[in-house]
Structure 1
Amino acid sequence: MRNNESSAILQKKLQPKLKDPKSFTIPYTIGNSYFDKVLCDLGASINLMPLSVFRKLGLGEAKPTTISLQLADRSIKYPRGLIEHVLVKMDKFMFPTDFIVLDMEEDKEIPLILG
């Protein structure tokens, strides 16, 4: 049974709830290529890779796709393809990730978007 004193002690030890960041950056490695900042967008549901980055990484051929994407500015884009099971590394964890390849301008600071 909890009394008022123990309840007050528990409440003092709890950390305040942080605001939802919606997006943040993390370091990321694909093959031998290290990306200092990759955007993690909690509002997105796909992973985007610019065509220029895809070509630099030499990941082979992208699979054709018929999807269309509506971007934040309401424009419609048609991807160049899909690459599946790209082995990525974050810190000491490695896992396969799928990317949509989009012919878009590469952001030199944050070249990939994870959703």
Structure 2
Amino acid sequence: NHEKANNQIEKFYQIFKDMSFKISFADALILMPKFASILKALIGNIEKLSEMALTLLNEHRSTVLLKKLPEKLGDPCKFLIPCDFPGMAKCLALADLGASINLMPFSVWKRLSLPDLTPTCMTLELADRSISRLVGVAEDVYVKKIIP
């Protein structure tokens, strides 16, 4: 158990050697409560502490240490964009967030009198784990985006 503690302290020395921060030592203790016992042992070895006092802290480690990480956001589920087509009261299109696939209800495709679709047997599993069977694929369809 003593050997395990020494290994942990040595690992902490190594990690601590790679970082530097511009806050008081007391603030560092407050921000790192899980390392309190290791820091106490470190204080007992002044030579190592002095050696590590001059190391620099990169931006990533500073952010983690000061708890300035951005808030994690949840999955937006379905992201729908309202579309305005002549002769249609309301239409929502599923926005593509990077998959290079854009979906449109087949009923909307037919009402817009767009070119024939190339048949496909492709299915898509959506974020909510539902399966959508595609009627066909359209390529090179001109889309005009108007951003308010």
Q: TM-score, normalised by structure 2?
A: 0.37
Q: TM-score, normalised by structure 1?
A: 0.43
Larger RCO: 1 or 2 (CA < 8 Å, sep 6+): 1
| Higher Rg of the two aligned structures | 2
